[in-house]
Amino acid sequence: MTPLLETRSVTQRFSGLVANSDVSISVGRGEIVGLIGPNGAGKSTLFNLIAGVMPPTEGAILFDGEDVTRLPAAERCQRGIGRTFQVVKSFETMSVIDNVIVGALVRATHIREARRNAHEVLEFAGLAARADVLASDLIPSEKRRLEVARALATRPKLLLLDEVLTGLTPIEAQTGVELVRRVRETGVTVLMVEHVMEIVMPLVDRAIVLDLGKVLVAGKPQDVVRDPKVITAYLGDRHAVGQ
Amino acid sequence: MDKAFAERRRRELMLAGCLALVAALVPLFVKDVYVQNIMVLTLMYAALSQSWNILSGYCGQISLGHALYFGLGAYTTALLFTKFGVLPWFGMLAGGVISALIAMALGYPCFRLRGHYFAIATIVIAEIALLLFQNWNWAGAALGIDIPIRRDSWLTFQFARSKLPYFYFALVLACIAWFVTWWLEDSKWGFWWRAVKDNPDAAESLGVVVFNSKMGAAAVSAFLVAVGGSFYCQFVSYIDPESVMGFQFSLLMALPAVLGGIGTLWGPMLGAVILIPLTELTRSFIGGSGRGVDLIVYGSLIVLISLARPQGLVGLFARKKKALAP
């Protein structure tokens, strides 16, 4: 079976700066894949290329067996790619439920259906009690959950999570981890960018490490964390030698 | 939860119906022609501001050039009537359609601009249109167009002897603009527009085609404003470029919504009811020479509002409701 998502030799340059260079990754159906790497490794760029914020300078992106390289973000969402934003982008003047309805409208033919689906998603994400609150009145961890809920309401096949667990308290992060697990149980494939290794490693089936815009290592999380190349990338040469 | 929402929507509709009924009865008690004139203008600006609010309030694309669509509505009606004998009712429809098409044609380049740049573009375009009309001989150029007065009739929508038909038509216009807003508020478009206003990037990521949403809002907004312009043309029976396409119309459409509450259902209505009588009264008390004084009055009002209550006067009611909730 073809993988759900595949990038083929994707390269992205920003006027001289090469953010991604010849990146080829694939994500299988039903997987939880972690995209990790030190600051400036090109995680966010790759993430944005997959989400359709801009087309890559070179290379191709295949989703569900089809070439989506040139499709705009809205159309990718319609095809089944949902995403969250690292810096949360709630619709601040709208209530929580209205935020989620916007996402649900992609699949619903009628507003009433979208509202019903949105309520279900809020229930799933543990935000049902906050449905009628303005998004601007949510606390940060709730805003993160709203990001996930809104993306889930679009019924994605692939959910892209951009540092949803970063900066949360340990308890909040644990709730987040459980939410991601439950998302996968509903049949959604997850690709998550994370910075904090301790949180993601127990969660993901596979980890892809980016460094300096290139794929450094990809594999099972327990192998990846022991890989000297990864340790060098994160901590510098001295520590790798000490191993 | 859904029930409470449906209940609120129904209450809004009933409140609007009651208010419209009360407004319809007012002329039975107010016979003064001067006051009736103010009431007609208030209702007209309420309708215009409500229409402006669709693009600028809900969708967040601040237009300060809606005088263009107002003028197009007026001119289409006047030209079709005087040159081809087409009844104003068809002129009204034609004006609306032409304005909607032009709004989309202009939106095509302009909706790529964000924030203030879009607002500036709308001002410039409306001013260019004003200059074009001032030099367009076939359309009367700067002299304008006189609508030939005939017998009072609903057919030609002319009433030289009474303000009442205009009053009731303006009331219907305000009701239509309100109802369209009310209906759109709980539609796909309504949600898309608010999402686009709050955060276009997030909207795009949720499958909303931001550009198309803006185009839709512009078309609906321009259509309704043009119908208002067409009405105004019949009401005053004489138009020239400055009197239907001047910048003050763009302002007078925006200000009631800003005063009452931008992007809200009731804001434009509330704003118009306060602002328009105030404008007309200061204008008549100070006399023809003080043309700028009314502008000073509502300029200060806006400053006060934006300092004390940026979300507009309807924010006062919202806060009360919130305080009552457990």
Strands A81-83 and A17-27: unpaired
> B-chain residues within 8 Å CB-CB of A106?
206-207
Give residue B156's pLDDT: 77
Distances (CA, A) of B206 to A124, A180, B84, B105, B214: 18, 19, 49, 26, 16
B287 phi and psi angles, rounded to 5 deg:
95, 170
pLDDT: is B49 or A230 the higher one? B49
Judge: B198–A94 Cβ closer than 8 Å, yes or no. Answer: yes
A216-225, B95-104, B111-120, B280-289: least confidently modelled range: B280-289
Give residue A186's pLDDT: 94
pLDDT: is B3 or A117 the higher one? A117
Burial B179-193 (b: 16+ CB within 10 A, else e): ebbbebbbebbbbbb
Distances (CA, A) of B76 to A70, B98, B103, B209: 42, 8, 15, 32
Give residue A25's pLDDT: 94
> B-chain residues within 8 Å CB-CB of A153?
206
Q: Residues 6 or more apart from B215 whose CB is under 8 A from it? A: B104, B107, B108, B111
Contact B100, B92 (CB under 8 A): no
Q: What is the mean pLDDT of chain B?
A: 88
Q: How far is the C-alpha of A129 from the C-alpha of B217, rounded, in Å?
A: 33
Strand spans (E) along A121-169: 158-162
Query: Which residue of A102, A137, A155 is the best one to mutate when testing the B interface, meaning the one whose CB has the most B CBs within 10 A?
Result: A102
Give residue B325's pLDDT: 44
Edge-to-edge strand ranges of the sheet holding A58-63: A17-27, A5-14, A58-63, A66-67
Give residue A200's pLDDT: 84
Distances (CA, A) of B17 to B14, B22, B137, B174, B317: 5, 9, 45, 12, 19
CATH 1.10.1740 fits B2-324, yes or no: no
Give residue B15's pLDDT: 94
pLDDT, tens digit, for every residue of B129-146?
999 999 998 988 888 888
Q: Looking at the DSSP assignment, which residues form a beta bridge with residue A161?
A: A192
Give residue B202's pLDDT: 95
Would you give the distance in Å from CA B23 to the centre of its chain? Answer: 19
Q: How far is the C-alpha of A54 from the C-alpha of A51, rounded, in Å?
A: 8
Match 């002299």 to its residue by tokens: B143
Q: How far is the C-alpha of A131 from the C-alpha of A150, rounded, in Å?
A: 12
Domains belonging to chain A, first-starting first, are 5-80+157-242 (3.40.50.300), 90-155 (no CATH)
Judge: A111–B188 Cβ closer than 8 Å, yes or no. Answer: yes
Each of the 243 residues of chain A gets a pLDDT tens digit; together they read 789 999 999 999 998 888 999 999 999 999 999 998 888 888 999 999 999 999 999 999 999 999 999 999 999 999 999 999 999 999 999 999 999 999 999 999 899 999 999 999 999 999 999 999 999 999 999 999 999 999 999 999 999 999 988 888 888 888 999 999 999 999 999 999 987 778 888 899 999 999 999 999 898 988 888 888 888 887 776 665 444
* B324, pLDDT greater than 90: no
Q: How far is the C-alpha of B178 from the C-alpha of B176, rounded, in Å?
A: 5
CB atoms < 10 A from the CB of B128, how many?
Answer: 12
* B291, pLDDT greater than 90: no
When pLDDT is cut at 50, 70 and 90, the band that residue B16 belongs to is: very high
Strands A66-67 and A158-162: unpaired
Q: Residues 6 or more apart from B2 whose CB is under 8 A from it? A: A115, A116, A119
Contact B239, B144 (CB under 8 A): yes
Give residue A198's pLDDT: 80
Q: How far is the C-alpha of B74 from the C-alpha of B77, rounded, in Å?
A: 5
Cα atoms in the 13 Å half-sphere on the side-chain side of A7: 27
Helical ranges in B237-266 per DSSP H: 241-245, 247-260
pLDDT (average), residues B65-72: 96
pLDDT, tens digit, for every residue of B175-230?
999 999 999 999 999 999 999 999 999 999 999 999 999 999 999 999 999 999 99
Domain boundaries, chain B: 2-324
Query: How high is the ipTM of this complex?
Result: 0.91
Judge: B203–A102 Cβ closer than 8 Å, yes or no. Answer: yes
Size of interface A-B (CB pairs under 8 A): 83
CB atoms < 10 A from the CB of B253, how many?
Answer: 30
Element at A202 (helix H, strand E): none
pLDDT: is B286 or A130 the higher one? A130
For residue B60 the two structure tokens come to 């967040």
Query: Which residue of B205, B215, B321 is the best one to mutate when testing the A interface, meaning the one whose CB has the most A CBs within 10 A?
Result: B205
Judge: A74–B188 Cβ closer than 8 Å, yes or no. Answer: no
- Identity of the residue in B186, B192, B204 whose CB atom sits nearest the CB atom of A73: B204
Element at A38 (helix H, strand E): none
Q: Can you give the pTM of this predicted structure?
A: 0.90
- Identity of the residue in A89, A116, A131 whose CB atom sits nearest the CB atom of B201: A89
Element at B142 (helix H, strand E): none
Q: How far is the C-alpha of B98 from the C-alpha of B89, rounded, in Å?
A: 14
Give residue B207's pLDDT: 94
For residue B210 the two structure tokens come to 């931001």
When pLDDT is cut at 50, 70 and 90, the band that residue B153 belongs to is: confident
